[in-house]
Chain A
Amino acid sequence: MVMQSLEIRRSSASVWGIPSGIRSLPIVSKYIDTSTCIGCKACEVACQEWNDLRPVQTTQTGTYQTMPTLHPEFWNLIRFNEQNFDGGIAWIMRKDQCMHCDDPGCLAACPAPGAIVQYANGIVDVNQDLCIGCGYCESGCPFDVPKFHATTGKMAKCTLCVDRTTVGLEPACVKACPTGCLQFGTKDDMVALGNQRVSQLQTAGFKNAALYNPAGVGGTGVVTVLAHGDHLDWYSLPSDPHVPILTRLWKNVVRPLGMVAIVGAVIGAFGHFTKYGRKEVPGSGDSGVEPPGA
């Protein structure tokens, strides 16, 4: 939902790639501390409640995790993972949601003008009015976030509660989080908080603790504290996320070249005509040449 057109930094399928908004705002960010997440799923419910998403029919398959992946009506999923660690177990609980990349792959892949926008504060949002439901964004996202909603025929994902944050509230999940492992604020503040927590974890013995804010997508609007920063797979996080090379190749190379080629073909045909003219049937038209054997 587009709240303020003056606050749009980037817009999908924009012909010239020029921001349509002129305002600049501090970049906002959500802080997720997986090391103090207890997987209570209050954020999952808060997300559903605030966004008026309908309950999804799930089945118990032998895990605490609500469902295998994000869903068009479930934008916030705690991923549970058991790992052997240090002679014992680490039970990882990681909040999966849209990462609000600085360089969003979904936006890069989206063909519908204005369907995916990035606001001046960094939030990446799907404009349901303009979304055509093609699903290109699914291929462009390195985090497997956008999901196609079969009923609406549109894509859906976390909006970072843009309708709340715009009026100065924290996202619903942050509001509901009982342990404080979710925080919301400016990106600078959240990164500082994250670094502080990481060093605390390192002191406490988690030598590989790290803040997940991958540079490949220009940093994310969701910074995540990981106790086991050397095991990103435990968290189902890609080690080097970026806008896919094939998406870039497709959008930035093949498409413009293709356009040139097609236009070139038209011009070529025209040029051919000016040089060679028609290939007339002898004896017909006004070529004045008798058909052979006529």
Chain B
Amino acid sequence: MSATPTVGHRPVDLAVVAARDRENIIVGNEIVRHKRASRLIHWTVSLTFFVCLFSGMPIWSPIFGWMAALFGGLSAARVVHPWAGIAFALASAFMFFHWVGEMRFLPSERGWLGPKALEYMRYEGDDSEVGKYNGGQKLFFFATSLGALGLLVSGLLMWWPSVFPRLVLQFSYLVHDITFIFFAIAIVFHIYLGTAAEPGTFGAMTRGTVSRGWARLHHPRWFRDVTGDDNSRRG
């Protein structure tokens, strides 16, 4: 087996760096999966999300009160949270339009809400037609986008409690909470799959590149499209 070079081991190659500005191209042994802009957007969303998370959780429940210390106390957390929320929503919106073109569902992806997801989690799914994004990723994309919208709208209503009617506020708190709960669950799995469960994935969002093997395994059709190599079709 050939060792997959990593960033750390390699001398900086300006050509490679430049190449990573574009997606879906082969650079040496690797394939650029996410160009720098995509990665920046992702991490912006991620950062704002965590700011929201840590500033919001202590307001959500006193159990997480310690998180407020990150911001200098609960009052500060409460000030940071809505603004971070706005930033998160903006970043999410940017991300949405950035990626929405690639997130069109294909007929073959039917079933990702049920059996296919379970198959996938059992590492049993083997669909050679998986393109750059599988159905689960697309679902996650739309779910989180919708979640971000829900958090934004309910959050804005909550921001002006003196303006909106009590019943609207009471609903907003519920919507904000429920949305957050689902969002949080989704994020737990997003992180889990992107790190511990699927080695090689995290690099796609850091360096921007994945190995040929990774691409062939997870996104066979994308691998073929990028490399022209049709080997993955077999098996």
Contact = CB atoms under 8 A, between A and B. Distances in A.
The answer to A–B direct touch (Cβ < 8 A) is: yes
B166 A139 contact: yes
A290 interface: yes
B219 to A, nearest CB: 12
Given A136-B161, A291-B213, A261 B181 contact: yes
A89 interface: no
B142 interface: no
Given A133-B78, A250-B170, A292-B234, A279 B181 contact: no
A13 B58 CA distance: 10
B160 to A, nearest CB: 8
A280 B60 CA distance: 38
Contacts of A18: none
A180 interface: no
A163 B217 CA distance: 71
A130 to B, nearest CB: 8
Interface in B70-109: 74-75, 77-79
Interface stretch (B42-50, B130-138, B184-192): B184-192
Interface stretch (B12-20, B31-39, B144-152, B172-180): B172-180
Interface in B167-223: 167, 169-171, 173-174, 177-178, 180-181, 184-185, 188-189, 192, 196-200, 211, 213-214, 216-217
Contacts of A136: 161, 173
A262 B188 contact: yes
Contacts of A134: 59, 78, 158, 161
Contact of B217 (A130, A244, A272, A282): A282
B158 A135 contact: yes
Nearest to A293: B231
A138 B169 contact: yes
Contacts of B62: 13-15, 111, 113
B10 interface: no
A259 B65 CA distance: 14
A130 B167 CA distance: 26
Contacts of B235: 292
B24 interface: no
B63 interface: yes
A249 B173 CA distance: 10
B137 to A, nearest CB: 14
B211 A281 contact: yes
Given A13-B62, A132-B59, A136-B161, A258 B196 contact: no
B74 A283 contact: no
Interface string A254-284: 1101110110111011001100101111111
B177 A281 contact: no
A132 B74 contact: yes
A255 B162 contact: no
A15 B63 contact: yes
B147 to A, nearest CB: 13
A276 B65 CA distance: 35
Contact of B171 (A246, A278, A294): A246
Nearest to A291: B213
Contacts of A262: 181, 184-185, 188
A284 B1 CA distance: 7
Contacts of B189: 265, 269
B197 A254 contact: no
Contacts of A291: 213, 216-217
B217 A113 contact: no
In the complex, the 10 A-B pairs of residues with the closest C-beta atoms, listed nearest first:
A135-B161, A293-B231, A246-B170, A258-B181, A139-B169, A269-B192, A132-B78, A265-B188, A281-B213, A265-B185
19 contacts: A113-B62, A133-B78, A134-B161, A136-B161, A136-B173, A138-B169, A148-B161, A250-B173, A254-B178, A254-B181, A258-B181, A261-B181, A265-B185, A269-B192, A281-B214, A282-B213, A284-B213, A292-B231, A294-B213
Given A153-B79, A259-B61, A292-B231, 11 more contacts: A13-B62, A131-B75, A133-B78, A135-B158, A135-B169, A153-B75, A247-B173, A250-B170, A250-B177, A255-B60, A283-B213
Interface of B: 1, 4, 59-63, 65, 74-75, 77-79, 121-123, 158, 160-162, 166-167, 169-171, 173-174, 177-178, 180-181, 184-185, 188-189, 192, 196-200, 211, 213-214, 216-217, 229, 231-232, 234-235
Interface of A: 13-15, 109, 111-113, 130-136, 138-139, 141, 144, 147-148, 153, 244, 246-247, 249-250, 254-255, 257-259, 261-262, 264-266, 268-269, 272-273, 276, 278-285, 290-294
